[in-house]
A and B are shown apart, each in its own frame.
Chain A
């Protein structure tokens, strides 16, 4: 999407926020009444006990404030929920579906939206929507360059940060070239999750930003004619990097937690994560040594947002909207940003909050390993979703079938 259309879009949302509040308030009362007593099945990845505890806490709030029961369906992969909704549609089940709310973004959102599997638009009608920092955090309405158009509601910001053990790495590399040089000097001490894993492919996109002649083409869909030449520097970079990787690139960790475990076990010295507060939270939990610090690249790192979406055949549609709205409340957002809880960055515009609500955020300490917003540096936009699919598939063909 070009900048102008993007501007129009944000203007549109600003307009939506200023619609007569009375009418919206009346509608919302009806939603609240309908939600009372409903049970919302929130399908969300269940691999992180900190997130599971947070969702359980949100459930307590939903019950206490709105009489909505929240059940966390712990998934091994978000695609399981997508497949469930797809199977229900194929079976002709257009109401009473098993999934009420999905934690989603990127490819899964693009696939569900394209297949018409989502309910909406609903996000811009939520009472807390005006608090969302649409202007300052454009990723909350643009999911991998795809306009969300109100079909999903943001709840957390993420930005790629590199985690390193300062006891073993004095000066961490701050560009993709410096990273390759560091790996050559310290063979076997860095790796990345195996694409098509989400974080692993994100690393490839970060490399693309660093080695491509003109990274702005990433914002448009892949152009077949020029693709091979555009990505040639990526493969050259990886060809040189792989002999210096952990296990000489004969094995890769399978996902973000597995990479984090390697850092915890001292099998690697540098890892990376999408949650800038992860390292601090893990240090607080005693799973990472307190010498771990985070760093970003000089030219910026990729940033995006996490969303919740409601399937077209959700049983507790009203309850799901109530939960989506609750997650956008300052109290819940501040708790998510607490490094002792999750360390997720908020999607809200702090300037739009009341002084009391802003104080909740000011009271938070960053955590020993978390960078301040200024230190984080610029967040690079996610490339168009077609890049992720394409480079992941090509990676698998080049490196994923080495035997």
Chain B
């Protein structure tokens, strides 16, 4: 799986699709986060709108990404959580960790 990315106002937006699950999308997400950081990105926004399934490994990759970006002085935030992903972030209590937006303009502006 190749995760598309684009940059807007200095924020790198990753847009995974389908499953972020063990052996399927989790490694792709990790690679996309690291590729963005390696190319000089500091602030990342992950748009989860088109994600259909996320398992504990996928959640683990979001957390890893969050930690890595934070440790490098940047911010990793989430955009457009589908209800199923929202439920899982509630269950895992990670809603208390991530900044979550449902509007891209607002999300991008929040990094300023």
A and B pair up: no
Interface residues of A (CB under 8 A from B): none
Interface residues of B (CB under 8 A from A): none
